[in-house]
Amino acid sequence: MNTQSSLSNATTLVRVNSFIRSVYNWMAIGLALTGFTAFYVSGNETLMRAIFGNPVLLFGLIFGELGLVFYLSARVQKIQASTATALFVVYSILNGVTLSSIFMVYTSTSIVSTFFICALTFSVCSVYGMVTKRDLTSMGGFMMMGLIGIIVATLVNMFFRSPAMSMLISYVGVIVFVGLTAYDTQKLKNMAMTQPADLSGAVVRKGAIMGALTLYLDFINLFLMLLRIFGGSRD
């Protein structure tokens, strides 16, 4: 019995590690595509003028990104794994296009240094979510409420344009996305541990894509919040 139990535990561990590795690999691919696209677009004056000088095109890109996220979340069980992968890649590229605007606001040095600060912070939080024995479900719910608060406060501040409010939102945002990173990592680990061993490769692939999208969004939002705090202005 002990031998069978040990083999079962070992098999589960291998399956969990394989799934989590796939999630982080796809997340890294998404971040690389976003970073390359943002850097390329920011260095092309024609593209920058076409995108940010045309509000219709800019808002079309933003709504297109939101549409892709909602579509993936709602239809991931019904679409093919290749389609889910393609949509994730397209989203990463579109996000890179819109994020190229940060190069107009912040210095390249501060963007790079903030990226490494974000990567270190994200890694620590993700490792904590992976190894902690504490159930982070309640914390995740609290952080989701905080996220809603951030969205509402950001919309309100679009009218007031208060620098103090903007900075407060950034500090709260860092706390929220630090918590969500740990929570989402633990949720993915639990999902990997409880999924049936006989799931098809396509189903596992789609789960990995959705997991990658979740952590990708945590990383990008944490990066933007930190950039508002530590980023050096080009002015």
Give pLDDT tens digits for 153-189: 988 988 888 889 999 999 999 999 999 999 999 999 9
The 3-state DSSP class for residue 144 equals helix
- Is the pLDDT at 209 greater than 50? The verdict is yes
Q: Distance between terminal CA atoms of the chain? A: 69
Average pLDDT, the chain: 89
- Beta-carbon contacts of 223 under 8 Å, excluding residues fewer than 6 positions away, are 114, 115, 118
> For residue 100, what is the DSSP state?
T
Place of tokens 């608060």: 149
Residue 7 pLDDT grade (very low, low, confident, very high; cuts 50, 70, 90): very low
Mean pLDDT, range 78-88, rounded to an integer = 92
The 3-state DSSP class for residue 233 equals strand
How far is it, in rounded angstroms, from Cα 125 to Cα 182? 5
Q: How far is residue 144 from each of residues 10, 62, 109, 129, 130, measured CA to CA in Å?
A: 34, 22, 32, 16, 19
Question: How many C-beta neighbours within 10 Å does residue 78 have?
Answer: 8
> For residue 106, what is the DSSP state?
B
pLDDT, position 8: 55
Q: Which two tokens stand for residue 162?
A: 């208060």
